[in-house]
């Protein structure tokens, strides 16, 4: 999964994280679509069922993940299940999504509960453990931004360079553009000159710029950018989102995770025409990003009637801080490797590649993990 910018992704983020990336950022000036049914305030989170003590030293470390069905929450479950074979009882934070996890990891702070407006799936979360987090997962570009103090971390005016990677694992997601058949749109070039109201679900700064799509123009014609899907005031239902005229996402995947399910749902609830993205846009988005060139396969989603040239991002990190003992990092790397089947048993297409597991161009791999990978021959 290579760099995304804001697509209207649900659960805070991967929500945010999937949201700020360079070519996919959703336009910040979002227009709220009229909703036929009033939304209800977010429900209170269930209380956490965990209790102290916590920490690596007592074999009960806290994992900063995301919601229980979100990619980083799923990696938290994989980590907990793998370490259980070595006597560890990992405690998961199900609200450490977006930029929360990297900040809490780097600053050695306890998890905080995000504002109600960010909690779009309260049934998939819990009140977090009252302890400093020691393991986490996030996408490559998100962690590198925190390391460099860029992107959503620029306002913090500091770099967080005490991360150490344990494993790089893969979960490919595609840049996809599509239109409802009812809209009559067959090319992204048609959107800027369209007379009818045009509602767009998702978005991409690079695509908008290249094709001359301006939010102000969409609004002037009675359309705009749909707000996120969720139960909170100002958000929309899955049916409303799926009824958009145009869909653009950089996290398209054939899964039902909150951050990645927009195209999956829309392809079932709407008849779609999939749109080609010009080579110039794809080439620009690949430069300096985590994206790589690929092809959306035939029949990947309902209505995909041909292979479509596009780009994808894939790499996510399971990581610790530099103060994690070498012995623990070694054990964690070993546990994840020995129980790769856990990645295959989840709700999305994670895969563990021995040629990539120790590849981290910016953030160092923990020496304890490197020791294990060298013993296995994964690193020379």
Domain ranges of the chain: 14-42+173-313, 56-170+317-376
CATH class of 14-42+173-313: alpha beta
- CATH number, domain 56-170+317-376: 3.40.190.10
State how far the Cα of 219 lies from the Cα of 225, in Å rounded to an integer: 8
User: In the prediction, which pLDDT does 288 show?
Assistant: 83
The reply to whether omega before 235 is within 30° of 0 (cis) is no
State how far the Cα of 329 lies from the Cα of 239, in Å rounded to an integer: 45
User: In the prediction, which pLDDT does 48 show?
Assistant: 61
Q: Is residue 115 classed as helix, strand or coil in its secondary structure?
A: coil
**What's the whole-number average pLDDT of the chain?**
89
pLDDT tens figures, 153-201? 999 999 999 999 999 999 999 999 999 999 999 999 999 999 999 999 9
User: In the prediction, which pLDDT does 347 show?
Assistant: 82
| Among the listed residues 197, 110, 138, the one whose alpha carbon sits nearest the alpha carbon of residue 14 | 138
Residue 314: CA count within 13 A, CB half-sphere: 19
Q: Which residues of the chain are modeled with pLDDT < 70?
A: 1-49
State how far the Cα of 311 lies from the Cα of 269, in Å rounded to an integer: 25
| Among the listed residues 171, 150, 114, 145, the one whose alpha carbon sits nearest the alpha carbon of residue 363 | 145
State how far the Cα of 368 lies from the Cα of 17, in Å rounded to an integer: 28
DSSP secondary structure letter of residue 339: T
User: In the prediction, which pLDDT does 47 show?
Assistant: 67
The predicted model scores a pTM of 0.86
DSSP secondary structure letter of residue 38: P
User: In the prediction, which pLDDT does 45 show?
Assistant: 66
Please work out, in degrees rounded to the nearest 5, the angle formed at the alpha carbon of residue 103 by the alpha carbons of 257 and 368.
90
């Amino acid at each position: 999964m290579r760099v995304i910018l804001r697509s209207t992704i649900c659960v805070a983020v991967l929500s945010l994280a999937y949201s700020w990336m360079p070519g996919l950022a959703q336009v910040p000036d979002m227009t709220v679509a009229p909703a036929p049914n009033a939304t209800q305030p977010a429900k209170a989170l269930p209380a956490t069922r965990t209790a102290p003590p916590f920490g690596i030293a007592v074999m009960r470390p806290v994992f900063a993940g995301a919601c229980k069905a979100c990619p980083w929450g799923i990696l938290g479950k994989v980590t907990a299940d793998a370490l259980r074979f070595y006597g560890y009882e990992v405690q998961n934070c199900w609200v450490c999504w977006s930029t929360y996890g990297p900040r809490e990891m780097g600053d050695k702070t306890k998890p905080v509960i995000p504002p109600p407006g960010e909690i779009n799936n309260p049934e998939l979360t819990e009140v977090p453990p009252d302890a400093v987090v020691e393991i986490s997962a996030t996408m490559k570009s998100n962690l590198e931004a925190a390391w460099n103090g860029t992107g959503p971390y620029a306002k913090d005016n500091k770099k967080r360079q005490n991360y150490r990677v344990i494993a790089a694992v893969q979960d490919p997601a595609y840049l996809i553009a599509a239109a409802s058949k009812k809209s009559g749109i067959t090319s992204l070039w048609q959107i800027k000159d369209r007379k009818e109201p045009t509602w767009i679900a998702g978005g991409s700064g690079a695509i908008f710029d290249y094709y001359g799509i301006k939010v102000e123009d969409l609004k002037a014609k009675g359309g705009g950018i749909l707000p996120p899907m969720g139960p909170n005031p100002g958000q929309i239902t899955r049916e409303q989102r799926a009824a958009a005229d145009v869909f653009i996402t950089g996290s398209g995947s054939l899964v039902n995770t909150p951050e990645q399910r927009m195209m999956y749902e829309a392809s079932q609830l709407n008849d779609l025409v999939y749109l080609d993205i010009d080579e110039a846009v794809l080439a620009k988005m690949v430069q300096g990003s985590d994206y790589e060139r690929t092809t959306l396969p035939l029949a990947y989603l309902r209505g995909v009637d041909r292979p479509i040239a596009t780009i994808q991002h894939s790499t996510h990190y399971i990581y610790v801080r530099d103060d994690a003992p070498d012995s623990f990092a070694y054990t964690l790397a070993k546990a994840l490797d020995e129980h790769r089947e856990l990645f295959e048993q989840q709700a999305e297409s994670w895969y563990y590649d021995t040629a990539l597991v120790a590849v981290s161009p910016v953030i160092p791999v923990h020496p304890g993990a490197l020791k294990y990978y060298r013993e296995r021959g994964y690193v020379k």
